[in-house]
Amino acid sequence: NQRVTLNSLRQKHLACEPITMVTAYDYPSAIQVDTAGIDICLVGDSAAMVVHGYENTLPITLDEMLIHCRAVTRGATRSFLVGDLPFGSYESSSSQAVDTAVRVLKEGNMDAIKLEGAAPSRIGAARAIVEAGIAVMGHVGLTPQAISALGGFRAQGKTINSAVKLVEMALELQEVGCFSVVLECVPAPVAAAVTAALKIPTIGIGAGPYCSGQALVYHDLLGMLQDSHHAKVPKFCKQYGHVGEAINKALSEYKQEVKNKVFPGVSNTPYKISEGDVDGFM
């Protein structure tokens, strides 16, 4: 299986084949996303919520993100790897943004970075990072790092004005050299308009079917977290598995078997005493 590159992504987009993106945060999730043949593996700052249990994406640090990035690179050998720039690591200036992006490539071993928003300073940051030789994925619509200013996790581009703004922001990101743009939580016709306006691929999440590709968060699509948990599965997500239930079942079975002295049985008790032997590994 060939490595996914910017070039192969471009080919896929030109052939009108949908691009797939799924997040991963550690070695096992990276192996699974990679093995499934997902095109882009995003080390998302959604790690803050689905891995660290925070209520939003703001608290995760660059150093924490880099740990996730490195773990993912050990498991993924084929997918194109994109690392999110976390909140607070790129907003101050273009040089701060370049420094952070360089760390995500050098220390995180990612193929590209993603940043949120399209305010003039973000457009400047995206341009500077591209000029530093680093591939940049944009992200507009619901940008969770702006939760404070947006007043919560809510859909964007629902009025004509904000929809037009969204198209303009995506065009600016394309203009400064982004290779792709994520559209999060926007009405399908608006995502369609953005996609039609751009030459680069749009990757939708909660943005309907008319994008060049689709993204979902690993834990959400697998049904990993329970409904009682505060990291609720978003409305737009389809759960392709109920992995959380399977894990619960396995853990309680284990607990029952230990309690009932069924585990460990004979086959789980392989070590015999042998005279004069030294302790080995097995």
- Residues with catalytic roles: 184
* One residue of 26, 34, 39, 84 binding Na ion per CB under 5 A: 84
Minimal distance in Å, beta carbon 25 to ligand KIV?
Answer: 9
Minimal distance in Å, beta carbon 13 to ligand KIV?
Answer: 17
* Whole-number Å distance between alpha carbons of 79 and 5: 8
| Token code pair at residue 107 | 């220390």
Cβ closest to ligand KIV, residue 128 vs residue 207: 207
* One residue of 23, 73, 94, 174 binding ligand KIV per CB under 6 A: 23
# chain residues binding Na ion, by CB under 5 A: 3
Q: Is there a contact between 135 and 125 (Cβ–Cβ < 8 Å)?
A: no
Minimal distance in Å, beta carbon 144 to ligand KIV?
Answer: 7
| Token code pair at residue 197 | 């306006």
* One residue of 20, 30, 40, 44 binding Na ion per CB under 5 A: 44
Taking CB under 5 A as the rule, does residue 45 contact Na ion?
yes
Closest to 185 in 3D by CA, of 257, 243, 255, 237: 237
* One residue of 215, 224, 231, 233 binding ligand KIV per CB under 6 A: 215
Query: At CB < 8 A and 24+ separation, what contacts does 145-152 make?
Result: 145/45, 145/57, 145/58, 145/86, 145/87, 145/116, 145/117, 146/116, 146/117, 147/56, 147/57, 147/58, 148/58
Give the footprint of ligand KIV on residues 99-128 (CB under 6 A).
Answer: none
Among ligand KIV, Na ion, none, the one that 215 touches (CB under a kind-dependent 5 to 8 A) is ligand KIV
Binding window for ligand KIV (CB under 6 A); candidates: 38-46, 96-104, 155-163, 251-259: 38-46
Q: For residue 215, what are the β-bridge partners?
A: 21
Taking CB under 6 A as the rule, does residue 44 contact ligand KIV?
yes
* One residue of 45, 111, 172, 220 binding ligand KIV per CB under 6 A: 45
Using alpha carbons only, give the angle 64, 47, 66 rounded to the nearest 5 degrees.
30
Q: For residue 141, what are the β-bridge partners?
A: 184
* Whole-number Å distance between alpha carbons of 178 and 138: 6
Residue with tokens 């994008």: 211
Among ligand KIV, Na ion, none, the one that 205 touches (CB under a kind-dependent 5 to 8 A) is ligand KIV
Taking CB under 6 A as the rule, does residue 214 contact ligand KIV?
no
Among ligand KIV, Na ion, none, the one that 48 touches (CB under a kind-dependent 5 to 8 A) is none
Taking CB under 6 A as the rule, does residue 72 contact ligand KIV?
no
* One residue of 136, 163, 217, 221 binding ligand KIV per CB under 6 A: 217
- Which parts of this chain interact with Na ion (CB under 5 A)? 44-45, 84
> Which residues sit at the interface with ligand KIV, rule CB under 6 A?
23, 42, 44-46, 84, 182, 184, 205, 215, 217
